Structure 1
């Protein structure tokens, strides 16, 4: 009888432990990211990496099993570039530059290559791919004489000019399509580390305020006192280089209109595992 009772006790103990383990359900993750962002577009046609700028974000990842997750992310990043980084003679002469703050919201699907179960060492690492869609706000600006000027209201490519009614101001909101890959590592049952690089395709060619042609007659070039207007100084800055004679004649190419701009983010992340307790059932 004693042996029977001991056997029953061991069986019940094992069932209880198993039930307790299965009762903890991994619901998802809540995390933060920190890294760098870089721009590619009309001022960076060779896809060069030069002076990346900061990026940070927060995200919530909802798990659907051990391989698939849906992620909602919010990002702030800075982007910028200048023709002075180029080796191209035209770009050096063009002499344009920009900076912009980016506010981004994305919805992405994450797909693990390996089984990932926080708290289980043998399943605590996986590479993954991610893709999705999002929306972001941007507002390019440049510096002149030490002062900061937003470029969109100026209509540097004739936007808003009565001479070119078809040249409408570009939207300060655009869509993006993140595509990337990364790795995840479970540091502890409640904490995950990640590293990710994701390229953003966008629907705008005005991330840098450069897209089409020069429109030097779109607005007044001079003030009553004979000095140049702010618009004129910022739509064509080639007067600051070479012999001081502007190159922006009417209809001359200023950008590459058929190639939308893009940007990339490389980030590390820390995420807290979110769990729930499921009432155990014995089978």
Structure 2
């Protein structure tokens, strides 16, 4: 995945530089134009609370909606810049993702962690079209594949759910059926930031509906620099660090399920709680509808 990201970004930047140099003089300002858009997407994540302990593993049933607004400016026949705002949610649940009969997943089944995380993102990306439009917006190509890469800032807030656990939640000092903010609890003794930077990159295809509208399908990965989108990364803390009751103890220790269906507090200080060696990712896939703002064409002045 890291190599794929590096190669994609390098290729996009190289092609963009070559294209800019070759076409900047051929694309007049009269052919440049702006567009605004809305996107309806599906959102997933790669992290610690997934079926397999690997980046490509995700649980499709954990897919949640994402919506976005964007503005795009066409600079050259192939290059545009887009700024966007979006909101979406990612989720994970060992109870649903991990298979207790799978030797590799059994640890996560007994760990029994869960989270949901609402993500607000602002991004700026460069878009490189694989098919050039050397004319104005009216004569743009009907079908255009493209790639993109850029930078994003996002705010997130992982929360854990204290579900119906046969009375265990009452003994642990939490309210059944309640979501708790996990970052303030420092369940692993780490104070991570809720505002982070990511690298968005990906590709898509765009289709011309009519003179003013384009519709497209796009998939974009977000390479983050935090392993705490799910509040799980390192090792379990001791009872002295977590306490014996309250939300910090409840979510920090976890509630493990025995094979007979009963639940008990789980805490082995210093033992693995998460992978701890890879940052979390999230992925956004969906439909984009763009409306082109027809540029004003100034009439020549005669004397």
Offset at residue 275 of structure 1 (A): 2.5
Q: Is the 1:26–1:275 contact (alpha carbons within 8 Å) kept by the matching residues of 2?
A: no
Whether the 8 Å CA contact 2:45–2:58 is kept in 1: the answer is: no
SS of corresponding position for 2:268: coil
1:147 matched to 2:178? The reply is yes
Deviation at 1:256, TM superposition (A): 1.7
Query: Displacement, 1:83?
Result: 1.2
* 1:232 shift after superposition: 1.0
Specify every segment of 5 or more residues in structure 1 that has no aligned partner in the other structure, as ranges: 1-21, 160-168, 223-227
Compare 77-86 and 110-119 and name the one that shifted more.
110-119
CA distance in 2, matches of 1:138, 1:75: 12
- Find 1:49's aligned residue among 39, 43, 59: 59
Comparing 51-60 with 79-88, which one deviates more in the overlay?
79-88
Structure 2 residue 152 is the aligned partner of structure 1 residue 134: yes
Deviation at 1:152, TM superposition (A): 0.8
Deviations 1:95-132 (A, max 9, x none): 001001000011101000012454227x2210000111
Aligned to 2:210: 188
**TM-aligned CA distance change 1:173 to 1:152, over 3 Å:** same
Q: Distance in 1 between matches of 2:67 and 2:81?
A: 19
In 2 relative to 1, CA 218–72 (structure 1 residues): closer, same or farther, beyond 3 Å?
Answer: farther
Unaligned runs of 5+ in 2: 1-27, 100-104, 163-175
Match of 2:98 in 1: 86
Q: Contact conserved, 1:118 with 1:186, CA < 8 A, in 2?
A: no
For 2:297 and 2:242, locate their aligned partners in 1 and report how far apart those are by CA, in whole Å.
70
2:22 aligns with: none
CA distance in 1, matches of 2:108, 2:258: 11
Partner of residue 225, structure 1: none
CA-atom RMSD, angstroms? 2.1
C-alpha distance in structure 2 between counterparts of 1:86 and 1:251, whole Å: 22
> Aligned residue for 2:123?
106
- TM-score when normalising by structure 1: 0.81
Counting matched residue pairs gives: 246
